[in-house]
Amino acid sequence: MEQSTTDDRSAVEQQAALEGGVPGGVIGPGEGNQAPTNAVEGTSTWSLVDRLGLAFCWFLGLLFCAIAAAIVIYLLVQGIKFLKLSELVTPAAAGFTEGESGGFSDAFVGTLILGAMGISMALPIGVAVAVWLVEYGRPRPLARVTELTIEAIAGIPSIVLALFGTVIFTSTALGFLSRTNEGVVFGRSFFAASSMLALEALPLVVASTREGLNAIPRHVREASYAVGKTKAATTRRILLPTCRPQIATGGMLGLGRIIGDTAIIVVLLGATQNFAPVEGAPFPLDYLRGAGTSLTNFVYEASPTGNLNQPQKAYAAAFVLLLMVLGLNAATDLVHRRARKVGTWSH
Amino acid sequence: MEEELQPEYGPKWSDQRVERMLGALVVAMVALLLALIVTVFVNGWPSFAHNGLSWFGPGGNVDDQLNEISQSAETGAGYIYTFHAWPLIWSTILICGGAVIFGLVTALFISVFLIEFAPIWMSNVLRPVVRFLASVPSVIYGLLGVLVLVPFIGNHLITEHQKASVAGIISLTGYSLMAAVIILTIMIAPLMVSIFTDALSSVKPGWLEGSLALGVNRWRTIWKIGVRAARPAIVAGTVLALARAIGESVMLAMISGSTAFAPNPADGLIFIYEPSRPLAPTIVKSVDQLSSPPAKATLFAIASFLLFSGAMFSLAGAATRRAMSKYGAA
């Protein structure tokens, strides 16, 4: 009973938020539907301190916008200046000047591979964990422990995850996932990096999917049970299709995290700026078992503090990376907006 | 939960079976986390065991110690573990503490602005901007810091006189506490903003209306009622941001400077121009030496310190939140 009232309330709030009731000076999100929203007290009666505070708000808000604009415009200018399309198809080469050292195609492809592998691990596991938490969740203590686990994984610094990865993937049992040389396991491979990256993306997928599942009202499930569907069938045929937008949102947030991470890639993947396929393995596996690089790793190494020190290439690669992030942001936004329109069951 | 209904959907996807499979997966996740914690601590233990409490204390040059540790594996004369991490810990405290304090103030004002005062066009711009700043990869922040902010600080803010005054101890090039704190603030403030705005917008409207009806102006109402009611979430967001700041490695490895120097605020304001190196970047910088067992133990000891302090902050945050939520709405 209590559950349903809170559901109703949040549905109303969501509705109000949709109609833009929150920002325009109205206090409280619940009031978005009521007509006169212009009757807002002016600042002329405020004391000087209050007015200074509001001015500080404006200052910070505009400062944030300026910083974001500066980042985008600066990288855009540098990117247009230094990015040659040939760099996207030429692998890196040994060389002392920026002209000699080729492009960063391996890094670009590496980022794509990592994103694909990481998200294809994080998405099914994350959705499964979320389904268990929301739909099954018994015994209760285990559910509580699982929630804590997911929170803890979200809070682990990526460099610690990377160190943990070095221990796992240099063990002889997992030698088939990376290069092995006379019994010594190298431990750096796309498999190693992407599985740790998947762990980093997992909490985002779980959180978003849980949100989606929780937003589906109970009567939807009950209707399905009433016609004789099992819980598993209900989940597969009704619940998961319904919260597909939220799953997609979680996946894209996770993908953003994966392609933006550097620490794990520096430790578990990138010893080189080229692919280093393992000899003797069948086609896709030889590359995936070998070391490689990604855009973030390339930017890190090509920055003045890295080993390559080629700032122009670093700018070009950073520009490509930023474009990917911006594209992902836009896509997330789109899906999220659709999710709010389609995914509400409250009427 | 719901009543159990007997499955008629075929044995392959029977409810019991699906529940068992999902349950096994969940147990595996929990086991993985436990394995991670145990692995990190066990691998770091030799370093703690050899140094005792002096691991956390000052003494000697950390960079020299790290070199000796990693080279001791090759000499055959026994492993050296001597390591006094204080300069790294102090640098972490200064950088993360500074960034969280600035970030907290910034995020509070921006959230109040977004929720209460920003005109619609402004919040339509500011919300995506905040999301964007939160999603820029840290290595891009690092690159911009190295190529733009660090040279600016080195060439324009630090005077020749200041450089000369500490020339015998450390060279001031722009890789500094100040650069690190500025960029880290930009990185973590958006995270706080997103949590704070959620909390502020879920404060009960009646509470704010009550205050307004008594003639308190909007500015004071949102601070005295709204922000106060949202305090538990503000603590939660701050702790989350602090954990993120402590774990930030790559950006700080690029910007904070590469010497393990401990800037001393007692030297006057010049300390904000001094380089230092926090804990997490130290792991990134020394990660090539993992093949040497004593160096590996030292790095895992640093990692377990990061894990432990992160966990402690979460616990402290949870406790504060519980104490506060007696009064709070969010």
Taking only the tens place, the pLDDT of each residue in A308-342 is 788 888 999 999 999 999 999 999 888 878 766 65
Is B240 within the bounds of a domain? Answer: yes
Question: Which chain B residue is nearest to residue A50, measuring alpha carbons?
Answer: B219
Query: Which among B131, B218, B300 has the least Cβ separation from residue A41?
Result: B218
Three-state secondary structure readout of A241-290: HHCHHHHHHHHHHHHHHHHHCCHHHHHHCCCCCCCECCCCCCHHHHHHHC
A65: nearest Cα among B203, B130, B23? B130
- As a whole-number percent, the residues of chain B with pLDDT over 70 amount to 94
Tens digit of pLDDT for each residue in B132-185?
Answer: 999 999 999 999 999 999 999 988 888 888 888 887 778 888 899 999 999 999
What is the rounded distance in angstroms from the CA atom of residue B104 to the CA atom of residue B283?
A: 27
pLDDT the model gives residue A47 = 87
Q: Are B17 and A237 in contact (CB under 8 A)?
A: no
What is the rounded distance in angstroms from the CA atom of residue A336 to the CA atom of residue A245?
A: 7
Same domain, B59 and B172: no
pLDDT the model gives residue A128 = 95
pLDDT band for position B34 (50/70/90)?
very high
Residues B73-80 have a mean pLDDT of 80
Is B330 within the bounds of a domain? Answer: no
Tens digit of pLDDT for each residue in B196-222?
Answer: 999 999 888 899 999 999 989 899 999
What is the rounded distance in angstroms from the CA atom of residue B240 to the CA atom of residue B188?
A: 9
A201: nearest Cα among A324, A320, A327, A115? A115
**Looking at the predicted structure, is the pLDDT value of residue B252 above 80?**
yes
pLDDT the model gives residue A42 = 75
pLDDT the model gives residue A38 = 56
Using the 3D structure, point to which of B54, B75, B96 is the last residue of a domain.
B75
**Looking at the predicted structure, is the pLDDT value of residue B264 above 90?**
no
Residues 125-184 of B with CB under 8 A from A: 125-126, 128-133, 135-140, 142-144, 146-148
Is B4 within the bounds of a domain? Answer: no
Using the 3D structure, point to which of B55, B75, B95 is the last residue of a domain.
B75
Distance from CA of B156 to the nearest CA of A (A): 19
What are the tokens at A291?
A: 């070391």
Q: Are B153 and B180 in contact (CB under 8 A)?
A: no
Q: Considering just the CA atoms, what is the radius of gyration of chain A in Å?
A: 25
Tens digit of pLDDT for each residue in B317-330?
Answer: 888 877 777 665 44
Same domain, B97 and B39: no
A129: nearest Cα among A3, A255, A250, A259? A250
Q: Which residues of A touch B209 (CB under 8 A)?
A: 27-28
Distance from CA of A182 to the nearest CA of B (A): 16
Q: If you count them, how many residues does chain A have?
A: 347
Is B80 within the bounds of a domain? Answer: no
Sign (positive/negative) of CA torsion A168, A174, A179, A182?
Answer: positive
CATH of the domain at B114: 1.10.3720.10
* Alpha carbon distance, N-terminus to C-terminus of chain A: 18
pLDDT the model gives residue B282 = 92
Same domain, B165 and B257: yes
Judged by CB atoms closer than 8 Å, whether chains meet at B147 and A22 is answered as no
What are the tokens at A301?
A: 């190494």
Which region among A200-204, B14-18, B52-56, B301-305 has the lowest average model confidence (pLDDT)?
A: B14-18
What is the rounded distance in angstroms from the CA atom of residue B44 to the CA atom of residue A331?
A: 42
Residue type at position B131: R
Using the 3D structure, point to which of B44, B75, B106 is the last residue of a domain.
B75
pLDDT the model gives residue A328 = 93
Same domain, B60 and B176: no
**Looking at the predicted structure, is the pLDDT value of residue B260 above 70?**
yes
**Looking at the predicted structure, is the pLDDT value of residue B96 above 90?**
yes
Is B3 within the bounds of a domain? Answer: no
Judged by CB atoms closer than 8 Å, whether chains meet at A61 and B218 is answered as no
Is B31 within the bounds of a domain? Answer: yes
Query: Which among B33, B217, B247 has the least Cβ separation from residue A153?
Result: B33
Chain A touched by B254 (CB under 8 Å): yes
Q: Are A122 and A161 in contact (CB under 8 A)?
A: no
Q: Are A189 and A165 in contact (CB under 8 A)?
A: no
pLDDT the model gives residue A182 = 75
What CATH class has A104-342? Answer: mainly alpha
What is the rounded distance in angstroms from the CA atom of residue A252 to the CA atom of residue B252?
A: 26
In which element (H, E) is residue B188 found? Answer: helix B177-201
Kindly tell me the burial class for residue A42, based on how many C-beta atoms sit within 10 Å of its own C-beta (0-12, 13-18, 19 or more): exposed
Q: pTM for this one?
A: 0.87
Which residues of chain A register pLDDT less than 70? 1-40, 96, 271, 339-347
Judged by CB atoms closer than 8 Å, whether chains meet at A28 and B209 is answered as yes
pLDDT the model gives residue B165 = 81
B84: nearest Cα among B58, B117, B116? B58
Q: Which residues of B touch A67 (CB under 8 A)?
A: 133, 186
Same domain, B63 and B93: no
A vs B, Cβ pairs < 8 A, gives 275
Distance from CA of A280 to the nearest CA of B (A): 26
pLDDT the model gives residue A327 = 94
Is B148 within the bounds of a domain? Answer: yes
Q: Are A143 and B296 in contact (CB under 8 A)?
A: no
Same domain, B159 and B62: no
Is B329 within the bounds of a domain? Answer: no
Chain A touched by B249 (CB under 8 Å): yes
Q: Which residues span the domain enclosing B71? A: 11-75
Per the structure, the count of domains in chain B is 2
Interface mutation target, options B140, B214, B222, chain A, most CBs of A under 10 Å? B140
Same domain, B95 and B68: no
Separation of CA A114 from chain center: 13
Query: Which among B243, B284, B311 has the least Cβ separation from residue A266?
Result: B284
Same domain, B172 and B266: yes
Judged by CB atoms closer than 8 Å, whether chains meet at A262 and B122 is answered as no
Judged by CB atoms closer than 8 Å, whether chains meet at B205 and A28 is answered as yes
